Amino acid sequence: MINWYEKQEAFWRGKASPGWLCPWAGQARTGKGGVDTKVQEATRQETLHIAVGVLCFSAVMNLVFACLKKWELSVLWGTLLGGGWAVLNFFLLGLTVQGMVADPDEKRGKMKLQLSYSLRMLLTIGVVVLAIKLPGVNWIAAVIPLFFTRLTILAMQMLGMYKPDDKKSENKEGGDGTV
């Protein structure tokens, strides 16, 4: 029997499916009727980018708390809770999109995406409530990192790591341009 640590190591090396982590996401039908849930390199790479960005912004946030003389251990626990969920949330989004793209049934793929969004938002609310209720966690330090994913993407765009798609940037009204 494989223990949890061996599953986790195999998963991060790309040799195991993430079904034990996120059963509703990343599921693509194979030609043999099975389920292929291997994490794609793009999902892994973008999650790493987000994790590094969240870590950098979290360090800055902790420095701000320290400069304001408000830093204490509860700020660190809040940062770990909020930042950890922010990265995991992005990873689960990546798995869901990966599964949606691989699913030949477009309607079912959209339903998976909607279900994933709803569940992830409910879990985000749960993380905020948990941060408020736990006595050793600074809830403000837990909520702020939830915005670091978006800030990381914005910073990567400003640094030229992400470039907008030419077809989408030509459309001035913001629609998809397929009308």
Question: What is the rounded end-to-end Cα distance, in angstroms, of the chain?
Answer: 54
Predicted local distance difference test score (pLDDT) of residue 62: 98
Q: Which of 167, 15, 24 is nearest to 2 (CA)?
A: 15
- Residues above pLDDT 90, as percent of the chain: 58
Predicted local distance difference test score (pLDDT) of residue 33: 42
Q: Model confidence at 58, in pLDDT bands (50, 70, 90)?
A: very high
Other CB atoms within a 10 A radius of the CB of residue 95 amount to 24
Burial class from Cβ neighbours inside 10 Å (0-12, 13-18, 19+) for residue 138 reads: buried
Model's pTM, two decimal places? 0.72
The conformational region for residue 139 under phi > 0 = left, psi -120 to 50 = alpha, else beta, is: alpha
Mean pLDDT of 60-71: 97
Burial class from Cβ neighbours inside 10 Å (0-12, 13-18, 19+) for residue 58 reads: buried
Q: Which of 146, 152, 147, 156 is nearest to 50 (CA)?
A: 152
Helix (H) or strand (E) holding 179: none
Contact between 19 and 94 (Cβ < 8 Å): no
Q: How many helices (H) and strands (E) does the chain have?
A: 7, 2
pLDDT tens, residue by residue, 96-140: 998 888 888 888 988 989 999 999 999 999 999 999 999 999 999
pLDDT tens, residue by residue, 8-34: 566 655 555 555 445 444 444 444 444
Predicted local distance difference test score (pLDDT) of residue 104: 86
DSSP letter at 20 equals G
Helix (H) or strand (E) holding 140: helix 139-143
Contact between 54 and 152 (Cβ < 8 Å): yes
The first and second tokens of residue 143, run together, are 């909520």
Predicted local distance difference test score (pLDDT) of residue 28: 43
